[in-house]
Amino acid sequence: MKNGEPSKPTSSKKQYPRVYEKVIPIALVILALATIFVLLVIAAVVLGIFPGSG
Amino acid sequence: MTFTNTVVPFISSIVSLVFAVIIFKRYADRRGKHLLIWGIGMVFYGVGGFSEAYFGAFGWNSLIFRMWYLFGAILVAAWLGQGTVYLLAKRKWANALTALLILGSVYATFRVFTAELDPTLMTSSVHTGSELSGHAIVTSGIRTLTPIFNLYGTVALVGGAVYSAYIFWRKRILLHRTLGNLLIAVGALAPAFGGAFSRFGIPGALYLGEFFGAILLFAGFIRATVPMKNTEPQPAPTPAGD
């Protein structure tokens, strides 16, 4: 509903092929989490929690 | 000498250098600073892999170690990330960051090539000495440069690829670029994960991470630059009963 008007029952939003529609958002979430993990490891190296830096 | 510490990094080096040639050829055809800087980054990747293979095959050499540490450990991620910065940031910001990166790289080169080394220290901590390790550097202050460069490189390269993939996915356009950026992000993370597992004492983890990283970066670049057939986004299906 917008401004009191009923929304249209059809959608013109484009979609990727079905398999990609399912896989891509999962991959994005996993990659985001993996990136955070790596950044935390690098931060731990900077702070001296890990034994070395390379 | 083992397969993991000689052949694997050697293949990584070859893949990286072939990839660099393809990027430079594309730069010659189309221009674009991102291509030039990615190409330089992949040359660094190749030098790092070659140095690892040399150490695995022939043993310690201080010049090879310095080349490995400078190009493979410090500079590669930051330079690859800088290429991505040119795609996502305004040109003046990208140029300013490139100037900073060049200054930082010159400083790192000076520090690494004047450092005091002791290869026996590579067997300290969890490292076995079968792989190259920054533990061999005696001079203080040099190894603290590595995470700074890698932090910048990871944020720029992985963050940039994930962000680009998300934008293409949200708009449901250019599927090949969405997939290519996902592969690039995984490829950029692979060496970082390899390095993290190496810190936990898993032998070969770093070299394997770099190997898969080189292949996935290459595959991602090819995927992102070659449109897919018959995968143009389609209108969403009409709800049932309509």
Contacts of B154 in chain A (CB under 8 A): 35, 38-39, 42
Residue B23 included in any domain: yes
**Among partner residues B73, B74, B151, which is closest to A42 by beta-carbon distance?**
B151
Find the mean pLDDT for residues B115-136: 75
Which of B59, B47, B213 shows the shortest CA–CA distance to B131?
Answer: B59
CB < 8 Å to B125, chain A:
51-52
8 Å CB contact between A33 and B162: no
Q: Is residue B233 in some structural domain?
A: no
Question: How is residue B128 written in tokens?
Answer: 């076995």
Q: Provide the 8-state DSSP code for B106.
A: H
CB-CB neighbors (< 8 A) of A9 in chain B: 239, 242
Q: pLDDT confidence of B230, banded at 50, 70, 90? A: low
For residue B115, report the phi and psi dihedrals to the nearest 5 degrees: -75, 150
CA-wise closest residue to B131 among B76, B81, B204, B181: B204
Long-range contacts of A22-29 (CB under 8 A, 24+ apart): A24/B165, A24/B169, A24/B178, A24/B179, A24/B182, A25/B169, A27/B165, A27/B182, A28/B162, A28/B165, A28/B166, A28/B169, A28/B182
Beta bridge partners of B234: A15
* pTM of the model as a whole: 0.86
Q: Is the pLDDT of residue A7 over 90?
A: no
Q: Residue B6 corresponds to which tokens in the numbers above?
A: 């000689």
Cβ contact A14–B195 (<8 Å): no
Q: What is the CATH number of the domain that holds B57?
A: 1.20.1070
Closest CA in chain A for residue B137 = A54
Average of per-residue pLDDT across B40-49:
96
Q: How many CB pairs under 8 A join A and B?
A: 118
A27 neighbourhood in chain B, CB within 8 Å: 165, 182
H/E element holding B62? helix B62-67
Q: Is the pLDDT reported for residue B241 higher than 60?
A: no
* pLDDT tens digit sequence for B163-189: 999 999 999 899 999 999 999 999 999
- How far apart (Å, rounded) are the C-alpha atoms in residues B164 and B162? 5
Can you tell me the ipTM of this complex?
A: 0.77
Sorted by where each begins, the domain ranges of chain A are 22-47
Q: Which of A10-14, B130-134, B205-209 has the highest mean pLDDT?
A: B205-209
pLDDT at B242: 42
Strands B234-235 and A14-15: antiparallel
In a domain, residue B85? The reply is yes
Q: Residue B197 is which amino acid?
A: F
Domain range for B164: 3-225
B242 touches chain A (CB under 8 A): yes
Question: Phi-psi region for residue A3, left (φ > 0), alpha (ψ -120 to 50) or beta?
Answer: left
CA distances to B8, B41, B84 from B49, rounded to whole Å, are 9, 13, 22
pLDDT of residue B128: 58
